[in-house]
Amino acid sequence: MKLVLKITNIVLTSALILIIAFAAVIGFSAWLSEDKIPTINGYKLLTVLSGSMEPAIQTGDVIIERPLAAGEKVKEGDIITFFTKEKTDMLITHRVVGTINVNGKPAAYVTKGDANQSKDLSTVAPDQIVGIYKGRIPYFGYVSNFLHKPVGIIVGVILPGLILIGFEFRKIWQTLSAAEDKKAAKDAGLKQGGGEQAKV
């Protein structure tokens, strides 16, 4: 039973440390990035705030976007993230459902959310595109956002730290108690041995 508890403690502690470290890396990379979008090894990480792409992408997912290479063409069916024309600080992640070509080159893309009934009203120019969707981390956006709030810092960082310190103090106390018990047993054995010699 003690072994199971010890393994569980190690696994949970390791998972918590990894989650906190990853959230910290995301925050720091956003601070360093020119566009304030978290970027790791060239890939951009974004939190999904709406359900317009469900079921492919769920609300709260962190999606991984790869910036387009020079001359790379977007194909119909690709999922892209782009800045809107109306609000240059707003990002949308939708699927490309059509291409408008001018002189044989793509001038704009028609997009649509998988869960939406109609296509987006505005087309997307190539220079609006942030990246092309490559994968997702399910629901990690909720964890990341929570850990960046004061209550999240307390619950996700300070509280686990205090728990770990408590475990360490418990181990020290158990070690000292075992040493004291061993010493007491040894002293008791010596006294008993001494009494038997006196009788002889």
Q: Is the separation of the CB atoms in 129 and 80 below 8 Å?
A: yes
Can you tell me which residue has the tokens 């906190």? 20
Instruction: Please tell me which residue, 172 or 156, carries the higher pLDDT value.
Output: 172
pLDDT at 160: 64
- Report pLDDT digits (tens) over 24-77: 776 676 666 666 677 888 889 888 888 999 999 998 898 999 998 887 889 999
**All structural domains of the chain with their residue ranges:** 2-148
Active site residue 35: no
Q: From the candidates 94, 118, 122, 148, which is the catalytic residue? A: 94
- Give the Cα separation of 25 and 39 in Å (integer): 9
pLDDT grade for 198, boundaries at 50, 70 and 90: very low
- Report pLDDT digits (tens) over 99-157: 999 988 889 999 999 999 999 999 999 999 999 999 998 887 776 665 555 655 555 55
Residue 95: count of CB within 10 angstroms of its CB = 21
| pLDDT of 95 higher than 70 | yes
Second-level CATH architecture of 2-148: Ribbon (2.10)
- Give the Cα separation of 106 and 122 in Å (integer): 15
Sign of CA dihedral 84, 87, 91, 93: negative
For 115, phi then psi, to 5°, come to -90, -5
Q: From the candidates 14, 29, 120, 177, which is the catalytic residue? A: 120
Q: Are strands 62-66 and 91-102 parallel, antiparallel or unpaired?
A: unpaired
Active site residue 52: yes
